[in-house]
């Protein structure tokens, strides 16, 4: 008896589904009235979203790892004077001071700056290119076509 009732419910339920399909070809027109300030709000939000995308995979130069503070400050001053457009990050992990330089999207840019620093003659040791998450400036975002 349960099987017959469930079969009956299934047949009636499927008939209702087919009854919702209209055979006429009438087009339905929907008019949307919106506040024109919404377009401005969407544009502002898109700009904000563009500026929040500031981090990407890239490269930095590990310029120095030393326990000599005076030498580290000398190298840092050199980098800040000769390359003011790039960032210099100085961190202390006992007993070493690490100097990382720049936010480079392309490895070729990092190699170019590494060669310029080596030619400056301030750094005694090797300079390594390190893969890291970098911070993109708004002008670099525009340059890459992300803004």
133: Cβ–Cβ under 8 A, 6 or more apart, which residues? 55, 56, 57, 58
Radius of gyration of the chain (CA): 31
The 10s digit of each residue's pLDDT in 12-34 is: 766 555 555 555 667 788 888 88
The predicted pLDDT at position 70 comes to 93
Q: Decide the pairing of beta strands 88-93 and 96-104.
A: antiparallel
Average confidence (pLDDT) over 31-38 = 88
pLDDT of residue 11: 75
Q: What is the pLDDT of residues 86-97, one digit of tens each?
A: 989 999 988 999
Residues 6+ apart with CB under 8 A from 26: none
The enclosing H or E element of 37 equals helix 37-52
pTM tops 0.75, yes or no: no
Tally of CA atoms within 13 A in the half-sphere of 90 that contains its CB:
15
**CA-closest candidate to residue 59, choices 118, 112, 119:** 112
Q: What percent of the chain has pLDDT over 70?
A: 82
pLDDT at 141 over 80: no
Tell me whether the omega of the peptide bond preceding residue 95 falls within 30 degrees of 0, making it cis. Answer: yes
Give pLDDT tens digits for 50-74.
666 678 899 999 999 999 999 999 9
Mean pLDDT rounded to a whole number for the chain: 83
Distance CA 39, CA 14 (A): 44
CA nearest to 79, candidates 66, 61, 91: 61
């Amino acid at each position: 008896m349960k099987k017959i009732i469930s079969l009956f419910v299934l047949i009636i339920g499927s008939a209702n589904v087919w009854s919702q399909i209209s055979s006429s070809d009438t087009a339905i027109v929907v008019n949307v009235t919106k506040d024109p300030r919404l377009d401005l709000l969407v544009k502002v939000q898109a700009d904000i979203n563009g500026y929040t995308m500031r981090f990407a995979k890239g490269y930095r130069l590990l310029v120095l790892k030393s326990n000599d503070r005076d030498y580290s400050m000398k190298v840092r001053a050199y980098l800040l004077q000769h390359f003011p457009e790039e960032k210099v990050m100085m961190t202390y992990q006992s007993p070493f001071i690490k100097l990382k330089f720049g936010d480079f999207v392309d490895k070729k840019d990092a190699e170019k700056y590494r060669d310029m620093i080596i030619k400056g003659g301030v750094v005694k040791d090797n300079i390594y290119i390190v893969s890291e998450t970098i911070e993109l400036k708004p002008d670099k975002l525009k340059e890459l076509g992300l803004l």
